[in-house]
Amino acid sequence: MKGDKIYEDLSLIRRRSKRAFTAVTVIFILMLVYFWKIQIVDYKKYWEKSEENRIRRISLSPQRGLILDRDGNILAKNIASFKVSLVREKCEDLKASYTKISKLLRIDRKEIEERIQKYQSFQQFRPIVIKDNLTQTEVALIEGRKAEFPELILQTEPKRFYPYHTLAAHVLGYLQEISPRQLKSEAYQQYEIGDLIGKMGIEREYEDRLSGQKGLALEVVDSEGRVITEYNQKESTNGENIKLTLDLDIQKEVESILEKKEGVVVVMNAKSGEILAMASYPNFDPNRFINRFTPEQWMELVQDPDFPLENRAIRGLYSPGSLFKPLIAIGALDSNLISDQSSYFCSGRTLIYGHPFSCWFGPGHGRVNLYTGIKNSCNIYFYNVGKNLGIQKIADYARIFGFGSPTEIDLPGEKSGLVPDPEWKKRTRGEPWYLGETIPVSIGQGPLLATPLQVAVYTSIIANRGEKIIPHFFLTGSDSGDNSGKGKRTYVRPLSKEIDRSDFEKVIRGMWMAVNEQGTARAAMVKDFDVCGKTGTTQVVSTDTERKMEERGTKVGTHSWFSGFAPRRDPEVIVTIIIEYGGMGGSTAAPLAKNLFTLYKDKYVR
């Protein structure tokens, strides 16, 4: 009809409008919540970020503690140095920065890329050291072009320096750049990319004492990274100075003795376990590690066929040879299997379990008892004593005297050696122990292996008539005054089995005769010092193999051993020497020991 009104259905529009209004309201509310969170809840986080745009945090490296010998001579100190680091966050074009920095500092571009790639997984704001030990010219270049290179940070860095170079290198150790894996560990949270930490020797063992605590400086910078002002927030704390038991004079003599000879020398205080000297050759100069290595340089060093980084004193494994004979004697005396007058006849050769065994002295020693057996190092005598003692008891006494276990010296990486017994052979080779295998072990050969330091400790147990000492280098620390290493330690301990003192006295008499009555160790004799000792000559191949090689014209060398103490009644010093492929112990190692006993006597005996 003409007058009727027509109403349009707007319900759909209203519903859509309502939904749109609701959506806008929700978005508005979310925006309000978000802005509230930023300004009220997270204000500190964003405030710190904004501050970081104008405040630069600079770590202040502490001076590493000095390492000194027992008389205060400095063995490791610090020298001033500069390093430059790159901050990826400040780079607009990282690859372009590589090229510019390479030209500025004359560094191979690939080397810079490898350095950055090594720490790629770390935050962009963390500085990565790209060059250290900068020259004055390089420092001036970087300082003069700060505005052009805002991504570079120049810092001072105390550098380690070893004034005596190779002297006591294996004892002192060296520093090396901390690895990415270590940086991610909880134990290394205080360190930063590029820091150098102890990786070997005393530097590693006492890293927590020597390293000190970093400080923090804050610099206010402008938008281009130029420093406006600076102020310190926290001073660094220098590391603790450490005094070692080493005697510089004796250490120098030891190094001189070993020069160009592969081997080890250990000189130790017989009562306290203080190491007066320790040297392993070939050696290295720890100053070589002052500058950061490329991977290629590092591989070249570790793959050196002479293994100069290996501390043979605690990691070299050798058959102790005839040095083991006094232990066999003590074990047999303690087990009541022999007396000091029990004797065997040595004709130079004997048949045991149907197999021929020889004495080192072809014509033979004739009738031999305990004293002449040790004095002349008669193999036939100890073959028979060892046969009666048996492998299990030999192994038990070897462990009592410290073989097969670390000495607990305060150096990392010490090896335990090997004491063979039937259980070991069954476990490792799946075979039973044969009786004939006991015979070579009786004279310190076969699968028996020990470190030179273990031999020195074993010698000290004999010298002290049954007391075991723990060898150590730590003497005192400048801060705490603690003279006992890492916490309180007892350096003198009883053996796990009590052995009658008279058994030690009998063996010591034989060792005294070996030096002072024309025995195998007579070249170690020192007038008025009553040296007691034992020589050893150990084969590196079997007798049959040696004979075959000599028939082909190849001469096979033997390792030369000496280990002993002085004086006899109240021992003060232990000297242990091994010269690899040095020949007979009496002609090579014993004369060298005489030099060291003489030096000790002249310096310490009044």
pLDDT tens for 127-153 read 888 888 888 888 888 888 877 888 888
Q: Is the pLDDT of residue 485 over 60?
A: no
Question: Does residue 281 sit in helix, strand or coil?
Answer: strand
Pick the more confident residue, 105 or 314: 314
Q: Is the pLDDT of residue 351 over 90?
A: yes
Residue % of the chain over a pLDDT of 70: 87
Contact 135, 82 (CB under 8 A): no
Pick the more confident residue, 305 or 164: 164
Q: Is the pLDDT of residue 495 over 80?
A: yes
- Helix (H) or strand (E) holding 230, with range, is strand 227-234
pLDDT-based confidence at residue 488 (cuts at 50, 70, 90) = very low
What is the Cα 589 distance to its own chain's centre? 25
With a CB cutoff of 8 Å and minimum separation 6, the contacts of 273 are 460, 469, 470, 471, 472, 491, 492
* 322, 442, 560, 563: the active-site residue: 322
The mean per-residue pLDDT over the stretch 79-87 comes to: 86
Residue 460 annotated to the active site: no
Q: β-strands 159-161, 74-79: how paired?
A: antiparallel
> What pLDDT score was predicted for residue 292?
66
> What pLDDT score was predicted for residue 486?
45
- Helix (H) or strand (E) holding 213, with range, is none
What is the Cα 238 distance to its own chain's centre? 23
pLDDT-based confidence at residue 483 (cuts at 50, 70, 90) = very low
- Helix (H) or strand (E) holding 393, with range, is helix 391-400
Tokens of 517: 């009555």
> What pLDDT score was predicted for residue 73?
96
pLDDT tens for 203-221 read 999 999 999 888 777 766 6
pLDDT-based confidence at residue 595 (cuts at 50, 70, 90) = very high
> What pLDDT score was predicted for residue 12?
72
Q: Is the pLDDT of residue 291 over 80?
A: no
**DSSP notation for 518-567:** S-TTGGG--TTT--EEEEEEE-SS-HHHHHHHHHTT-----EEEEEEEE-
pLDDT-based confidence at residue 484 (cuts at 50, 70, 90) = very low
pLDDT tens for 535-594 read 999 977 555 545 544 555 545 679 999 999 999 999 999 999 999 999 888 899 999 999
> What pLDDT score was predicted for residue 147?
77
**DSSP notation for 452-516:** HHHHHHHHHHHHTTSEEE--B-EEEETTT---SSSS----EEE-SS---HHHHHHHHHHHHHHHH
> What pLDDT score was predicted for residue 24?
82
| Domains defined along the chain, listed by start | 54-80+158-244 (3.90.1310.10), 81-156 (3.30.1390.30), 248-283+315-604 (3.40.710.10)
- Supply the mean pLDDT for the chain: 87
Bridge partners (DSSP) of residue 154 are 84
> What pLDDT score was predicted for residue 26?
82
Least confident of 67-76, 98-107, 267-276, 472-481: 472-481
> What pLDDT score was predicted for residue 367?
97
Q: β-strands 242-244, 67-68: how paired?
A: parallel
pLDDT-based confidence at residue 110 (cuts at 50, 70, 90) = confident
Least confident of 59-73, 86-100, 310-324, 448-462: 86-100
The mean per-residue pLDDT over the stretch 502-522 comes to: 97
Q: Is the pLDDT of residue 297 over 90?
A: no
Least confident of 10-19, 79-88, 245-254, 497-506: 10-19
Q: Is the pLDDT of residue 600 over 50?
A: yes
pLDDT tens for 148-186 read 888 888 888 888 999 999 999 999 999 988 888 888 888
Pick the more confident residue, 192 or 482: 192
- First-to-last CA distance in the chain? 142
> What pLDDT score was predicted for residue 231?
63
> What pLDDT score was predicted for residue 556?
60
Least confident of 38-42, 48-52, 483-487: 483-487
